[in-house]
C-alpha cells in the first residue's frame, strides 16, 4: 500500500512539473515578443544542470541546447574565408562528407585592400549564406587584430595595420553575415598580434595604445556592427588570459561598450574555472582537443565551465549570478540565430558566390610597380609568355591553420593565365624553385603531386632558358600557408622570400627586362630585386577564383584599384616592434613559461612609426597604382573654424585624366599641429572609393567631426579633443599627399564620449 501511495504521489508531482513547464504560456517561443522577455521566460524554466550544459562544448564544434524546452544546440564553423569541412565529433579528423566543399573567398588582407565597404558587405552576405546552408549558427570570423609585425603568421586573416580602416571594413562584413541569421564572431579579442608563444605571451601595453590602435575595430564591431559573438584570444593581458580577462571582457567589452552578446573562448583558450566564471567568458570550446577519445578526464563534462562549475555552486562557494548572465546571453543568441524561424535558408557554391569571390579578388589586387607601363600586357606585341614559380600551380586554400578549406575548385594562376592569354600567345611554364611539395592539412588533401627530384641548379637553369625566349616573364611566387610562413601557430623566420626565390628573380631579370612579379602572400616581403623588375603585383590569397582574378588584372580586363592595408618595409629594422627589440618578447626568470612582450612603441605602429622616424618604406600604407591617373583639385572647406559640436565639410574634385575607366581611393589623414600628448604626424580618419570614366570629375565629400580629432588620454581614461590648429592631408597613399587644408577647433579641451 505504501508503495502504491509513493507511486501515486510521484505521478502527481511529475504531472505538476509538466503542467508548470508547458501548460503556462510559453513566452520564449513567441517570436512576436521582445527578445529579452523571451529570454527571461526561458531562463525561468531551466534547471541548473541545463544552464551549465549550455556553457561548454559537447563536440569539437558544437555546444548543447535544452532539448526539453526545444532550444537547439549551437553549431560553430571556422571562417573567415570559407566554411570549414566537417570533422568528427571528438577530434580534428575529417568526417568524410562528400557535400561539404565550399567557395573560398579571398583572405581578409585582400578584402581590406579593396578599401571598399561595399565589398565587405558582399563578402559577409555571401559567406553567411554558405554558413547558413550548412546549418551553422556561429561563423568564427572575421579577424581584426592589428598588423604589428610582418612576421605574424596569421596576418593574412586580419585587416591590416590601421584601426580606422579595419573598423570601417569589419562593420559591413558583420552585417552581411548576420543578415542570414548567422552570428559573426569577431576575433581574436585582443592583442593577439603574433603567433610565437601565443598561449604564454603576456602583452604589456599602455592604455593609450590599447584604445587608439588595438581596440577600435572591435569597438566598431560591437557599437556599429552589432556583432552577436566575440572570440577571446590565446595571449595574456595584465597577467590574465584574454579568454577570461576582467579588464578586456567585463570592464571594456561588456561594461564600456555594452556588448549584449556571447564571449566564446578560442579552442583551448580557457585555463581556470573561477576566472572563467567571474571574468566574462560565456561559452567554452576546445579545452581538450581530443574530446572523449582520451577518457573521462578529457570529457566535455569536465570542461572548466562544466562539472567543476556545478560543484562550486552545490558547495555554496559561488552563487548563480554569473551563470544567469551567461545563459541570458546564450539564449539571446539562440533567438537571433537557430530559433529565428524567419531567417533565410542560404545557398552553397552558387554562381553568385563565385562571382563575389572573383570581384573581391580583382578589387583587392594591388599594383605596386609598373615601369614603362608594361601592364596591362599588350597582346599585339606579346607572342610568348613565360610563367615561372611554384605559386603559379600550388593550391593555397589548403593549409594555414583553422582557415584551411575544402573547396569545390581552385583555379591556379597558371590556369587563369592560360585561359585568358592562351589563344593569343604561347604560354610556357617552369617551376623555378621548389618550396613545399606537400598538399595536406587536417585530412584535406590537394591531390597535387608537386614532388620534383631535380637539383635546384637544374630547376633554375630551366627557368632561365625559358625566360630568355619569352617576350614577358610572369614570376608567381611569394609565401604559402605552410608552417613558418602564413600559417597559424607559427611566425615567419624573416622578411625575405623563402626557397631561394630572391636569387631566382635576380637571375631571371638578368636575361629578360620584362619581368612581372606576382607576389602571393598575406604579409609584406622584402624585395631586394625591386629595381631590376618591370612590375610588381601584390595578389594575396585569392581563393577559388585566384587564377581568373590575377589574369583579369594582368590583361587589363580589370583596372587594378587595390591599396595596401599595411606598410611594406625595406627591412625588419624599419618596423617598430623589431627596431625596439620587443618581438616576440622575453621569457620571465620566475620559473614560469610566461613571455612578456612590451609594446613600447605605443601608438606608433606602421606608417605612424615611419613618419616620426622619417623612414622611407618599400611601399607605403595606402599605396596602389592604376592603369589610369587621377588629378586632385583644390579642396573647398565649409569653414576654417570648427566648434566642438559642429562639423566641417571638405569637398575635393578628383579627375580621371587617363584614357580608361578606373577607381581611386581618396584618403583623408589628420594632423594635430599642437597637442598636450605626443601624436602621430598623420592618422587615417576617412576614405572614399570612387569610380570614374575617362576625363570624368567627381567631387568627393568628407565630414570632419570632433571624434576624428580626439586622442585617448590614459590619465583621464577619456577621449579628448583639444582646441587648436589641425591640418587635413588628402592623398592617394600615406606618402602621396596631393592637397592640404588647415582649420581650427575653437573650443577648449573637451571630453568626448568613451
Kindly state the DSSP code that residue 250 receives in the 8-state scheme.
I
* pLDDT score of 9: 44
* Pairwise CA distance, residues 234 & 597, whole Å: 14
Residue 17: the pLDDT is 45
Please check the confidence at residue 7 and state whether its pLDDT lies above 80: no
SS3 607: helix
CATH class of 628-752: mainly beta
pLDDT tens digits for 131-159? 999 999 999 999 999 999 999 999 999 99
Residues 450/390, Cβ–Cβ less than 8 Å: yes
Catalytic positions are: 266
Confidence of residue 21 (pLDDT cuts 50, 70, 90): very low
Sign of the dihedral through C-alpha 358, 361, 363, 365: negative
Q: Which fold has domain 2-58+88-336?
A: TIM Barrel (3.20.20)
Q: Which residues contact 144 (CB under 8 A, 6 or more apart)?
A: 158, 159, 166, 167, 170, 186, 187, 217, 218, 221
Give the whole-number percent of the chain exceeding pLDDT 90: 92
CA–CA separation, 238 vs 597, rounded Å? 11
Query: pLDDT of 252-298, one tens digit each?
Result: 999 999 999 999 999 999 999 999 999 999 999 999 866 555 666 67
pLDDT digits (tens, 9 = 90+) for 206-249: 999 999 999 999 999 999 999 999 999 999 999 999 999 999 99
How many whole angstroms separate alpha carbon 48 and alpha carbon 64?
Answer: 14
Domain boundaries, the chain: 2-58+88-336, 365-558, 628-752
> For residue 690, what pLDDT is reported?
98
Please identify which residue in the block is written with the cell numbers 567589452: 253
Q: What is the pLDDT of residue 171?
A: 98
Q: What is the pLDDT of residue 23?
A: 42
Q: What is the pLDDT of residues 610-631, one digit of tens each?
A: 999 999 999 999 999 999 999 9
Q: How far is CA 62 from CA 66, 135, 189, in A?
A: 13, 12, 21
- Of residues 441 and 561, more confidently modeled: 561
Average pLDDT over the chain reads: 95
Q: Specify the CATH number for 365-558; select among 3.40.50.40, 3.40.50.720, 3.40.50.1700, 3.20.20.80.
A: 3.40.50.1700
Q: 389-426 as b/e, with b when 16 or more CB fall inside 10 Å?
A: bbbbbbbbbbbbbbbbbbbeebbbbbbbbbebbeeebe
Sheet-wide strand order for 183-189: 62-63, 74-78, 138-140, 183-189, 229-232, 262-264
Distance CA 689, CA 306 (A): 49
Model confidence, pTM = 0.95
For 614, counting Cβ atoms within 10 Å of its Cβ (0-12 exposed, 13-18 middle, 19+ buried), the class is exposed
Let me know the angle formed at the C-alpha of 654 by 649 and 655, rounded to the nearest 5 degrees.
160
- Look at residue 288 in the predicted model and tell me its pLDDT: 81
Per-residue pLDDT reduced to its tens digit, 594-605: 999 999 999 999
Amino acid at each position: 500500500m505504501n508503495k502504491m501511495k509513493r507511486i501515486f504521489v510521484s505521478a502527481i508531482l511529475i504531472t505538476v512539473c509538466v503542467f508548470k513547464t508547458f501548460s503556462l504560456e510559453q513566452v520564449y517561443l513567441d517570436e512576436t515578443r521582445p527578445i529579452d522577455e523571451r529570454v527571461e521566460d526561458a531562463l525561468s524554466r531551466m534547471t541548473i544542470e541545463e544552464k551549465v550544459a549550455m556553457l561548454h562544448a559537447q563536440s569539437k564544434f558544437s555546444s548543447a541546447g535544452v532539448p526539453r524546452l526545444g532550444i537547439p544546440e549551437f553549431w560553430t564553423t571556422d571562417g573567415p574565408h570559407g566554411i570549414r569541412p566537417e570533422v568528427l565529433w571528438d577530434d580534428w579528423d575529417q568526417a568524410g562528407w562528400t557535400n561539404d566543399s565550399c567557395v573560398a573567398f579571398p583572405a581578409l588582407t585582400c578584402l581590406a585592400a579593396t578599401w571598399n565597404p561595399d565589398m565587405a558587405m558582399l563578402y559577409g552576405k555571401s559567406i553567411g549564406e554558405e554558413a547558413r546552408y550548412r546549418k551553422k549558427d556561429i561563423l568564427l570570423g572575421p579577424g581584426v587584430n592589428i598588423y604589428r609585425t610582418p612576421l605574424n603568421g596569421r596576418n593574412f586573416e586580419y585587416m591590416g595595420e590601421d584601426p580606422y580602416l579595419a573598423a570601417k571594413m569589419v562593420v559591413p562584413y558583420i552585417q552581411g553575415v548576420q543578415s542570414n541569421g548567422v552570428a559573426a564572431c569577431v576575433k581574436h579579442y585582443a592583442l593577439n598580434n603574433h603567433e610565437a608563444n601565443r598561449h604564454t605571451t603576456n602583452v604589456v601595453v599602455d592604455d593609450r595604445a590599447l584604445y587608439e590602435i588595438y581596440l577600435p575595430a572591435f569597438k566598431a564591431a560591437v557599437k556599429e556592427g552589432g556583432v552577436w559573438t566575440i572570440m577571446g584570444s590565446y595571449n595574456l593581458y595584465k597577467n590574465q588570459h584574454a579568454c577570461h580577462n576582467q579588464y578586456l571582457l567585463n570592464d571594456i567589452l561588456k561594461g564600456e561598450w555594452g556588448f549584449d552578446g556571447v564571449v566564446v573562448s578560442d579552442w583551448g583558450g580557457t585555463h581556470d574555472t573561477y576566472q572563467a566564471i567571474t571574468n566574462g567568458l560565456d561559452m567554452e570550446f576546445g579545452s581538450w582537443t581530443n574530446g572523449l577519445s582520451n577518457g573521462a578526464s578529457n570529457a566535455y563534462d569536465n570542461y572548466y565551465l562544466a562539472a567543476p562549475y556545478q560543484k562550486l555552486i552545490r558547495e555554496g562557494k559561488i552563487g548563480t549570478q554569473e551563470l544567469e548572465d551567461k545563459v541570458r546571453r546564450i539564449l539571446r543568441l539562440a533567438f537571433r540565430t537557430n530559433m529565428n524561424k524567419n531567417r533565410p535558408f542560404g545557398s552553397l557554391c552558387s554562381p553568385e558566390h563565385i562571382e563575389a569571390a572573383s570581384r573581391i579578388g580583382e578589387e583587392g589586387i594591388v599594383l605596386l610597380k609598373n615601369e614603362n607601363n608594361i601592364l596591362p600586357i599588350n597582346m599585339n606585341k606579346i607572342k610568348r609568355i613565360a610563367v615561372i614559380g611554384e605559386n603559379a600551380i600550388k593550391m593555397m586554400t589548403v593549409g594555414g591553420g583553422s582557415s584551411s578549406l575544402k573547396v569545390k575548385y581552385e583555379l591556379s594562376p597558371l590556369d587563369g593565365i592560360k585561359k585568358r592569354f592562351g589563344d593569343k600567345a604561347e604560354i610556357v611554364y617552369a617551376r623555378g624553385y621548389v618550396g613545399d611539395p606537400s598538399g595536406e592539412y587536417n585530412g584535406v588533401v590537394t591531390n597535387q603531386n608537386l614532388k620534383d627530384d631535380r637539383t635546384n641548379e637544374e630547376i633554375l637553369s630551366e627557368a632561365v632558358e625559358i625566360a630568355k625566349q619569352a617576350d614577358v616573364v610572369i614570376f608567381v611566387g611569394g609565401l604559402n600557408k605552410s608552417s613558418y610562413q602564413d600559417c597559424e601557430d607559427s611566425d615567419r623566420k624573416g622578411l625575405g622570400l623563402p626557397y631561394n626565390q630572391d636569387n631566382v628573380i635576380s637571375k631571371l631579370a638578368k636575361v629578360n627586362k620584362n619581368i612581372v612579379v606576382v607576389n602571393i602572400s598575406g604579409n609584406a616581403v622584402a624585395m631586394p630585386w625591386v629595381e631590376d623588375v618591370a612590375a610588381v603585383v601584390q595578389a594575396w590569397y585569392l581563393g577559388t577564383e585566384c587564377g581568373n582574378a590575377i589574369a583579369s588584372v594582368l590583361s587589363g580586363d580589370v583596372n587594378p584599384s587595390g591599396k595596401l592595408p599595411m606598410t611594406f618595409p625595406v627591412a625588419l629594422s624599419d618596423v617598430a616592434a623589431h627596431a625596439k627589440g620587443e618581438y616576440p618578447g622575453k621569457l620571465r626568470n620566475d620559473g614560469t613559461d610566461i613571455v612578456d612582450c612590451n609594446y613600447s612603441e605605443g601608438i606608433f605602429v606602421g606608417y605612424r612609426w615611419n613618419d616620426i622616424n622619417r623612414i622611407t618604406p618599400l611601399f607605403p600604407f595606402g599605396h596602389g597604382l592604376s592603369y589610369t591617373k587621377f588629378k586632385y583639385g583644390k579642396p573647398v572647406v565649409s569653414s576654417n573654424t570648427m566648434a566642438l559640436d559642429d562639423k566641417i565639410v571638405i569637398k575635393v574634385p578628383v579627375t580621371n585624366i587617363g584614357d580608361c575607366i578606373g577607381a581611386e581611393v581618396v584618403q583623408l589623414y589628420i594632423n594635430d599641429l599642437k597637442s598636450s600628448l605626443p601624436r602621430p604626424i598623420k592618422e587615417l580618419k576617412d576614405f572614399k572609393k570612387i569610380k570614374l570614366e575617362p576625363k570624368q570629375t567627381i567631387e568627393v565629400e568628407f565630414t570632419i567631426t570632433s571624434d576624428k580629432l580626439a586622442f585617448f588620454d590614459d590619465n583621464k581614461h577619456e577621449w579628448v579633443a583639444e582646441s587648436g590648429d589641425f591640418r587635413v592631408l588628402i592623398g592617394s597613399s600615406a606618402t602621396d599627399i596631393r592637397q592640404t587644408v588647415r582649420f581650427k577647433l575653437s573650443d577648449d579641451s573637451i571630453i568626448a564620449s568613451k
